[in-house]
Structure 1
Amino acid sequence: MLTALFEVMLPVFVIAGVGFLLARRFTIDQLSLNKIQLYALTPALAFSSIMDTSVSATDVAHLALGYLGTTLVLGLVAAVAVRILAKPARNGVVASVLLGNNGNFGLPIALLALGQEGLDRAIVIFMISIVLIWTVGPVLFGVAPTVRGTVANIVKLPVLWAILVATVFRAIGVELPAGLDTSVHMVGSAAVPMILIALGIQLGYGKRIGFGKTVLTATVLKLAAAPLLAWGVCWLLGLRGQDLQSIMLAQSMPTAVNVFLLALEYDKDAESIAAIVAATTLVSLVTISIVVSQLGAFV
């Protein structure tokens, strides 16, 4: 566990800490940072990873089956567990448990814990999680999106097109010219540290965390129950090796910041959701270290 803490989690929190300190010292335009991540860095990382990946179509199918299957079971467990909470808080907690931070946290931790193959799988899971956030998220907050609106939101995401174009290029054997390929790789390489700095900035602007019943319930479900359920579901589905490890790691991630944005957009107890995002992010320093230290047993 100490090895995982210092070799995997410490670099993540040190880089995020830089962002945290910058937020405390300066006024930083988070919207512009998000646009840089969304429209440049993450698509470049996704494109270069797909072009270089060793993940097969079978592995992609296994990852989708395992991640979605785990999410479904986790949703059922969470729906029962939140009955101890007041009704207005229940759906927000379920959303916080189901929708993990597979971008800011998932990508860099997968790279540090499982290497390039782990990062390639994490990008596949990241894409699945994006679709879940923009489909399941609004429904849980009481807003049933239209099919047209949902599709429109998803197709606007440049990372989706980057993956699609890279997949087509791989299939037909197209390679980028050397100079352009180097440029894409350089931009993609900047994604992981910039994502972590942006996460630190978000935490730096956050309020003090209050560990009430709502926050504790969400934290236990997200950081303790989710990875255990991931192992059980994947084992039943026959998934082993890096597919199993990648899904367990993905389900160990803290609550996605986008859940807070949805709560803010739909006026659904955004203050509690913000506390859940902050709490799960900080507590995950320990819980993800435990998961990473045990991944070698799941092969």
Structure 2
Amino acid sequence: MTAQADLTQPLWMLLAFVGLGWLVARRLGVDPRPIATLLIYVIAPLTFFRGLVQGDPGPADLLLTAGLFTLASLIAVTVHRLARPWFAPPEAAVLAFSAGTGNTGYFGLPLALVLLPPEGVAQYLFCLLGITLYEFTVGFYLSARGRFSVRESLSRIVRLPLLYAFAAALLVNALAVPLPAALLDGLDHFKSSYTVLGMMIIGMTLGRVTLAAVDARFIAACVLARFGLWPLLSLLAVWLLQATLGIDATLATALLLLGVVPMAANVVVIAMELDIPPAKGAVAVLLTTLAAPLVIPLWLDALLSLAGLG
């Protein structure tokens, strides 16, 4: 399997959304903060609610979600402990948050739709859900603790609607509650806005960034976690699952794709929501995103070959 030809067009289209965000911030003076709030409190919960309801998760699907949630949380907690002696508390918090996740949604989901069959996309979604739940629980808490007390951090997590969207979707599936087709069709529109606005917000933030925000040490740590640690761990996970459970090529490809996407745009979104200066994170996100058209096809082809799927 060769990722180069399959991924070139969607990769450049996603970068075009970043450029569009930069343009509207520079020329129109659009403030990205309300859009960040809209993504967290409206668009992301409705997008995942629809995906879960249509996916009708079984025990194996929820095991994927739990596994990715656990892996992301362990990475973030470990990086946070290692980073605290070297970075200021807000920076260590943002670095830990970013280490546990990647742009698996805004960026990775369109790529999954290109690379994977429908059943593989469903498996990718449940993996993505685990990482997203990490972002809005453990990751959000670690980020908030860089600025707020334990009580304030927990109170902010309780207000996040994604948790309730997840519970509501599981309840709808468990009770076999039929949802009107018009409702599901309406919710389908949020999927596109989720990707477009999530990528645009990177460019919108960068439209306000100065050279003072370029921190080589912070950026290097972010890039190492994203393009060094995650590909290695995703390959190790695939090898382990192949040796024990005998997973198929589709699920293995979905897991490897999770490991090669750039830094999460939600690094910027969460920083804005918590009033943490987002500029340094935005620069690191941009650099890994700009590198994606080169890095992702090369990394993914290499990992697929090492996993015996090339």
Q: TM-score, length-normalised on structure 2?
A: 0.75
Match of 2:31 among 18, 29, 32: 29
User: Hey, what's the Cα distance between the residues in 1 that align with 2:174 and 2:80?
Assistant: 40
The worse-fitting range, judged by mean Cα deviation, of 57-66 and 270-279 is: 270-279
User: Hey, what's the Cα distance between the residues in 1 that align with 2:278 and 2:202?
Assistant: 18
Distance 1:243 1:259, change over 3 A: same
Q: CA deviation at 1:178?
A: 2.6
Match of 1:250 among 258, 261, 266: 258
The worse-fitting range, judged by mean Cα deviation, of 268-277 and 181-190 is: 268-277
Distance 1:16 1:293, change over 3 A: farther
User: Hey, what's the Cα distance between the residues in 2 that align with 1:193 and 1:261?
Assistant: 14
Q: CA deviation at 1:13?
A: 1.3
User: Hey, what's the Cα distance between the residues in 1 that align with 2:197 and 2:265?
Assistant: 16
Equivalence for 2:216? 212
Matches within 5 A, 1:113-192: 113-114=115-116, 116-117=121-122, 118-139=124-145, 141=146, 145-146=150-151, 149-192=152-195
Equivalence for 1:44? 46
The worse-fitting range, judged by mean Cα deviation, of 89-98 and 121-130 is: 89-98
Does structure 2 conserve the Cα–Cα contact (< 8 Å) formed by 1:70 and 1:234? no
Equivalence for 1:286? 294
1:72-110 deviations in whole A, cap 9, x for unaligned?
357657966x69x94548835444423434443344443
User: Hey, what's the Cα distance between the residues in 2 that align with 1:214 and 1:2?
Assistant: 30
What stretches of structure 2 of length at least 5 have no aligned partner? Answer: none
User: Hey, what's the Cα distance between the residues in 1 that align with 2:187 and 2:42?
Assistant: 9
Corresponding position: 1:276 with 2:284 = yes
Q: CA deviation at 1:260?
A: 5.4
Q: How many residues align?
A: 294
Distance 1:270 1:86, change over 3 A: farther
Does structure 2 conserve the Cα–Cα contact (< 8 Å) formed by 1:95 and 1:259? yes
User: Hey, what's the Cα distance between the residues in 2 that align with 1:292 and 1:75?
Assistant: 26
Q: CA deviation at 1:49?
A: 0.8
User: Hey, what's the Cα distance between the residues in 2 that align with 1:220 and 1:112?
Assistant: 27
Corresponding position: 1:200 with 2:203 = yes
1:211-268 deviations in whole A, cap 9, x for unaligned?
7344223312321222112221453354644444434333434334554577789998
Q: CA deviation at 1:25?
A: 1.9
Distance 1:235 1:113, change over 3 A: same
Q: CA deviation at 1:192?
A: 2.3
User: Hey, what's the Cα distance between the residues in 2 that align with 1:9 and 1:243?
Assistant: 21
Distance 1:250 1:282, change over 3 A: same
User: Hey, what's the Cα distance between the residues in 2 that align with 1:175 and 1:196?
Assistant: 33
RMSD of aligned C-alpha atoms? 3.6
Matched position secondary structure for 1:190: helix
What stretches of structure 1 of length at least 5 have no aligned partner? Answer: none
1:134-177 deviations in whole A, cap 9, x for unaligned?
123345x386623xx44432232222222221221111111112
Matched position secondary structure for 1:110: helix
Q: TM-score, length-normalised on structure 1?
A: 0.77
Distance 1:20 1:230, change over 3 A: same
User: Hey, what's the Cα distance between the residues in 1 that align with 2:289 and 2:10?
Assistant: 15
The share of aligned pairs that are identical, in percent, is 23
Distance 1:204 1:181, change over 3 A: same
